[in-house]
């Protein structure tokens, strides 16, 4: 009788605590991105400023550094400068940089490219289709995609030059 | 803990005040009247104090604790209304400084204590969770024993039980007690009492189900809280905002980039001031009064073919006029009209003129689309105008560099470079142009770019809402009300009449509305020789009535 009472009480308490715990976890845990570590990177197609078609799938076998940015985002500017310094070196090692602007005007992106002296291609995400598919809410947002098309890391916010370098090194395909 | 055996043979749990079966007081109590709360059963929580589980259980089982939780919730909830919550401060304001700026030291404290996000703070949510747990445990702990006690109650109660009821009377001057009880039974049956007889004794009971009212009410509350909790679960609840310019389409967030909304037209309709019907009312208003806010929208869906991005293809699903309280609904999502922005800049038109150069500028007119400006404009007379920089929402940033805050053309500035015929690449005249701004940037300019026109569009603000918890919350509310009515509009009454070897014992108990019970006794007493019981809580009563004159 006493055993049964303890059992019933424990079960009721556990059920309630689990429910409350799960609620708290949902509310306070670092929100998992729509696309996050371990997910397959959704394929997308964009055009660069010269109208060249680019499809993510075509880069399978290479590490891909997908960076979402805007001209008005200061941290993006810094990050893109670091990428400018290293992109050629890493392209030889099999790491590609895909720089996606979040729906600004072509003129702004072009001028930005000239002013900042960026040589790698810039893509404009018209209507934020790709940003939405990747669940991008704040900038800069970066997705590291390995040679198998799997997201290995999701990074939000400013990064130092070393951190960017580390990420690029991680992306070098192992084979 | 040992069980307590009553002389009637019933085994009662430890901590029982009145035997569950015959009602004999098992513990000495002060006062004339027995404490009938929960039928004098042992509230389980108060009997065991052993394992940690029991300790937690006992804590939440306490009504005192429950009431404190409610008090704390009321106090803290009201604190949250002292100043606006963070989501209600003017858009664009920085919460870190806003509260201090606006409300001084108190505001600063308010912000530092986290009261600006009070209702989603961990401790507030913990309080709500405690309330839920307390509701479940306290109700269970009381409902189960009470249910058992009312279920197992015997007709023949112990004399000690009857004597300690608030309404009690006895008489040994009645000749034929059994006959009188028979008469009473008939009367009470007409009053729709449930009658049980045992050895000539009588128990008349009515409205027992009202006793479950509070528990039904608590079940409703618990369901209500569960509904609120489910809002934090994925896919259950969504509350987002979107802005769509006229003629453009935007993705509906929360649909995984699946649905899009195109704003075909946004309009505000005003009440006609000429209309006699409204004239009086309108004359009292300060300005024009809005009749309708409406977005004529088209819902679009991404087709399965075509990869995300520039090859996305959209198909039209349906057209709808979204008005206030008349949302566009699809697949559990509802788009509500909540906001608008009139006259967002979309195009500037410029001309070129000069006071010093003798040339024909009459053909030079060009339009800059502020949402997708063209890079160069070339003209027949050899002139060329180039846009060097474009800032949709101009600002000088911390590094003293011109930049834009975002991509919305609220304060557009354009840097133009004008090349007269034959000019070299580095010979252009540079000027910065915006609303009421026209500055030459590299010395005196021979040419002036003059803004001659501006086009504007309206932007609609919609709320995207998905709420799968609403049915659960409504169900909780309905059950809450049912329990509330059940416990408020009916009340449990019992009448015991017993024949103890020539003495008639009479007692009554009600949970509330004693007057109704007394009226029922009055009816019995008027039509039989059974005396009227006395209210033992009346101060005027010296004691229990022994005889009633009317019986003679």
- The tokens of B282 are what? 């309108």
| Residue A102, in any domain of the structure | yes
Do B363 and B419 belong to one domain?
yes
Residue B225 included in any domain: yes
State how far the Cα of B153 lies from the Cα of A93, in Å rounded to an integer: 86
- pLDDT tens, position by position, B102-131: 888 999 999 988 888 888 888 999 999 999
CATH number at residue B199: 3.30.310
Q: What is the pLDDT of residue A66?
A: 87
Confidence of residue B551 (pLDDT cuts 50, 70, 90): very low
B49 versus B507: which is more confidently predicted? B507
Task: Choose the closest CB to A46 out of B53, B232, B310.
Answer: B310
Kindly identify which residue of chain B lies nearest to residue A34, measuring between CA atoms.
B256
**Which are the contacts of B40, defined by CB distance < 8 A and separation ≥ 6?**
B16, B17, B18, B23, B25, B34, B149
| Domain identity same for B287 and B354 | no
pLDDT at A143: 87
Other beta carbons within 10 angstroms of residue B70's beta carbon come to 13
Q: Is residue B37 part of a domain?
A: no
Give the residue carrying structure tokens 């197609």.
Answer: A45
pLDDT of residue B550: 37
One domain for residues B361 and B432:
yes
CB B507 within 8 A of CB B533: yes
Chain A CB contacts of B393 under 8 Å are 72
Please report residues of A whose CB lies closer than 8 A to that of B257.
Answer: 129, 132-133
Contact indicator for B495, B521 with CB cutoff of 8 Å? yes
Q: Is residue A40 assigned to a domain?
A: no
pLDDT in tens, B160-213: 888 888 899 988 888 888 888 898 899 999 989 999 998 889 999 999 999 999
Of B56, B232, B389, which is closest to A26 when you measure between CB atoms?
Answer: B232
How far off is chain A from B247, nearest CA to CA, in Å? 13
pLDDT in tens, A94-119: 888 888 888 888 888 888 888 888 88
Per the rule left: phi > 0, alpha: psi between -120 and 50, beta: everything else, B192 is: left
Look at residue B44 in the predicted model and tell me its pLDDT.
Answer: 62
Q: Do A56 and A23 belong together in one domain?
A: no
Question: Are both A161 and A88 inside the same structural domain?
Answer: yes
Q: Which domain holds residue A18?
A: 1-30
Co-location of A64 and A16 in the same domain: no
Q: Which residue has the higher pLDDT, B515 or B352?
A: B515
B48 and B133 housed in the same domain: yes
Domain membership flag for residue A17: yes
A155 and A77 belong to one structural domain: yes
pLDDT at B48: 57
d(CA B293, CA B364): 40
CA distance B61 to B63: 6
Give the integer Cα–Cα distance in Å for A76 and A63.
20
The span from the CA of B112 to the CA of A170, in Å, is 40
Residue of A1, A4, A9, A47 to mutate for B, most B C-beta atoms under 10 A:
A9
User: Is the residue at B433 inside a domain?
Assistant: yes
Q: Is the pLDDT of residue B42 over 80?
A: no
B11 belongs to a structural domain:
no
Q: Residues A127-151: what's their mean pLDDT? A: 82
Helices (H) and strands (E) in chain A, counts: 5, 7
Interface contact flag, A107 B233, Cβ < 8 Å: no
Q: What is the mean pLDDT of residues B23-39?
A: 76
Based on the fold, state whether residues A10 and A72 are members of the same structural domain: no
Q: Which of residues 27-86 of A touch B (CB under 8 A)?
A: 27-28, 34, 42-47, 53, 55, 70-72, 74
For residue B395, the chain A residue with the least C-alpha distance is A72
pLDDT at site B47: 58
Report field, pTM of the whole predicted structure over 0.80: no
Same domain, A50 and A84: yes
Q: pLDDT (tens digit, 9 = 90+) per residue, B517-532? A: 999 999 998 998 888 8
Residues B121, B169 within the same domain: no
Identify all chain A residues contacting B140, using CB atoms and an 8 Å cutoff: 12
Look at residue B494 and tell me whether its pLDDT is greater than 90: yes
* Subunit contact A16:B373, Cβ cutoff 8 A: no
Q: Which of B139, B147, B155, B149 is nearest to B12 (CA)?
A: B149
Please indicate, yes or no, whether residues B259 and B303 belong to a single structural domain of this protein: yes
Q: Cα distance from B224 to chain A (closest Cα, Å)?
A: 14
Nearest to B389 among A26, A34, A111 (CB): A111
Contact residues, chain A, for B225 at CB < 8 Å: none
Give chain A positions within 8 Å (CB) of B232. 23, 26-27
pLDDT band at B552 (very low <50, low <70, confident <90, very high): very low
Which among A134, A175, A169 has a CA at the least distance from the CA of A151?
A134
pLDDT at res. B1: 56
Answer with the residue of higher pLDDT: B94 or A123: A123
The whole-angstrom separation of Cα B523 and Cα B520 is: 5
B504 in any annotated domain: yes
* Average of per-residue pLDDT across A140-156: 84
Say yes or no for a CB contact (<8 Å) between B125 and A128.
no
Residues A56 and A1 in one domain: no
Beta bridge partners of B253: none
Domain that residue B199 falls in: 155-207+491-551
User: Could you tell me if residue B7 is inside a domain?
Assistant: no
Residues of A in contact with B402 (CB under 8 A): none
Inter-chain contact B251–A129, Cβ cutoff 8 Å?
A: yes
Closest-CA distance, B507 to chain A, in angstroms, reads 36
For an interface test with A, the pick among B55, B128, B309 (most A C-beta atoms closer than 10 Å) comes out as B309
Q: Are residues B310 and A45, on separate chains, in Cβ contact within 8 Å?
A: yes
| Least CB–CB distance from B257: residue in A26, A71, A132 | A132
Same domain, A70 and A143: yes
Q: Please give the pLDDT value at position A31.
A: 66
- Please check whether residue A81 lies inside any domain of the structure: yes
Mean per-residue pLDDT over chain A, rounded:
82
Question: ipTM higher than 0.90?
Answer: no
What percent of chain B shows pLDDT beyond 90? 21
Q: What is the pLDDT of residue B544?
A: 45
Do B219 and B280 belong together in one domain?
no
The DSSP element (H or E) to which B541 belongs, if any, is: none
CB B251 within 8 A of CB B257: yes
In the prediction, which pLDDT does B492 show? 92
**pLDDT tier for residue B235 given thresholds of 50, 70 and 90:** confident
Mean pLDDT of chain B: 84
Instruction: Indicate whether B549 pLDDT > 50.
Output: no
Q: Are residues A24 and A56 in the same domain?
A: no
Longest dimension (CA), chain A: 81
Intra-chain end-to-end CA distance of chain A, in Å: 65
Backbone angles phi, psi at A99, to 5 degrees: -105, 110
Instruction: State how many domains chain B has.
Output: 5
Between B32 and B481, the higher pLDDT residue: B481
Tens digit of pLDDT for each residue in A72-99?
887 888 888 888 888 888 888 888 888 8
B194/B253 same-domain check: no
What is the reported pLDDT for B471? 93
Domain count, chain A: 2
């Amino acid at each position: 009788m006493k055993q049964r009472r303890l059992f019933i009480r424990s079960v009721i308490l556990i059920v309630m605590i689990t429910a409350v715990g799960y609620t708290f976890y949902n509310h306070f845990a670092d929100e998992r991105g729509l696309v996050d570590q371990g997910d397959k990177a959704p394929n997308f197609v964009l055009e660069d400023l010269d109208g060249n078609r680019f499809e993510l799938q075509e880069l399978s076998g290479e590490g891909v550094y997908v960076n979402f940015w805007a001209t008005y985002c200061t941290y993006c500017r810094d990050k893109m400068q670091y990428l400018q310094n290293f992109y050629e070196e890493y392209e030889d090692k099999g790491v590609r940089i895909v720089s996606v602007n979040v729906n600004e005007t072509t003129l702004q992106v072009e001028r930005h490219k000239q002013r900042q002296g960026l040589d790698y291609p810039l893509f404009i995400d018209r209507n934020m289709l790709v940003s939405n598919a990747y669940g991008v809410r704040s900038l800069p947002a970066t997705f590291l995609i390995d040679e198998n098309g799997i997201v290995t890391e999701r990074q939000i916010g400013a990064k130092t030059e070393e951190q960017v370098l580390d990420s690029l090194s991680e992306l070098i395909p192992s084979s | 803990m040992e069980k307590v055996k009553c002389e009637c043979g019933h085994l009662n749990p430890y901590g029982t005040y009145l035997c569950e079966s015959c009602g004999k007081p098992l513990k000495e109590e002060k006062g004339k009247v027995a404490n009938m709360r929960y039928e004098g059963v042992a509230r389980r929580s108060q009997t065991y104090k052993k394992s940690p589980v029991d300790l937690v259980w006992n804590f939440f089982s306490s009504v005192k604790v429950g009431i404190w939780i409610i008090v704390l919730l009321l106090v803290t909830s009201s604190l949250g209304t002292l100043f606006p919550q963070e989501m209600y401060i003017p858009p664009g304001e920085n919460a870190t400084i806003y509260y201090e700026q606006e409300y001084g030291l108190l505001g600063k404290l308010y912000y530092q204590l986290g009261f600006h996000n009070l209702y989603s703070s961990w401790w507030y949510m913990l309080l709500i969770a405690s309330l839920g747990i307390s509701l479940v445990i306290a109700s269970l702990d009381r409902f189960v024993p009470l249910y058992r006690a009312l279920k197992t109650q015997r007709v023949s109660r112990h004399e000690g039980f009857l004597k300690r009821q608030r309404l009690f009377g006895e008489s040994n001057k009645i000749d034929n007690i059994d006959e009188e009880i028979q008469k009473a039974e008939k009367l009470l049956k007409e009053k729709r009492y449930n009658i049980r007889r045992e050895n000539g004794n009588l128990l008349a009971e009515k409205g027992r189900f009202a006793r479950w009212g509070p528990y039904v009410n608590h079940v409703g509350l618990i369901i209500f809280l569960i509904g609120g909790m489910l809002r934090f679960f994925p896919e259950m609840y969504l509350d987002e905002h979107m802005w769509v310019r006229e003629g453009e389409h935007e993705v509906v967030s929360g649909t995984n980039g699946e649905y899009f909304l195109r704003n075909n037209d946004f309009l505000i309709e005003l009440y006609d001031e000429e209309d006699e019907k409204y004239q009086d009312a309108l004359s009292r208003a300060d300005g024009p009064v809005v009749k309708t806010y409406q977005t004529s929208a088209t819902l679009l869906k991404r087709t399965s073919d075509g990869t995300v991005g520039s090859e996305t293809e959209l198909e039209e699903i349906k057209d709808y006029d979204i008005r206030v309280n008349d949302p566009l609904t699809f697949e559990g999502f509802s788009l509500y009209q909540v906001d608008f922005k009139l006259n967002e800049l979309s195009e500037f038109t410029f001309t070129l003129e000069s006071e010093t150069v003798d040339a024909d500028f009459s053909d030079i007119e060009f339009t800059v689309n502020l949402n997708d400006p063209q890079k160069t404009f070339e003209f027949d007379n050899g002139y060329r105008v180039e846009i060097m920089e474009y800032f949709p929402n101009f600002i000088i940033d911390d590094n003293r560099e011109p930049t834009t805050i975002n991509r919305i053309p609220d304060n557009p500035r354009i840097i133009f470079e004008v090349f007269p015929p034959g000019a070299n690449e580095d010979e252009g005249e540079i000027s910065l142009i915006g609303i009421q701004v026209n500055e030459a940037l590299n010395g005196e300019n021979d040419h002036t770019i003059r803004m001659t026109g501006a086009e504007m569009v309206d932007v609609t603000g919609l709320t995207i809402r998905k709420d799968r918890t609403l049915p659960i919350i409504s169900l909780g509310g309905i059950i809450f009300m049912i329990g509330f009515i059940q416990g408020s509009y009916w009340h449990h009454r019992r009448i015991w009449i017993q024949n103890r070897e020539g003495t008639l014992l009479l007692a009554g108990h009600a949970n509330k509305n004693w007057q109704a019970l007394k009226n029922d006794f009055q009816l019995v007493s008027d039509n039989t020789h059974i005396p009227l019981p006395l209210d033992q809580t009346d101060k005027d009563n010296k004691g229990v009535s022994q005889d009633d004159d009317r019986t003679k």
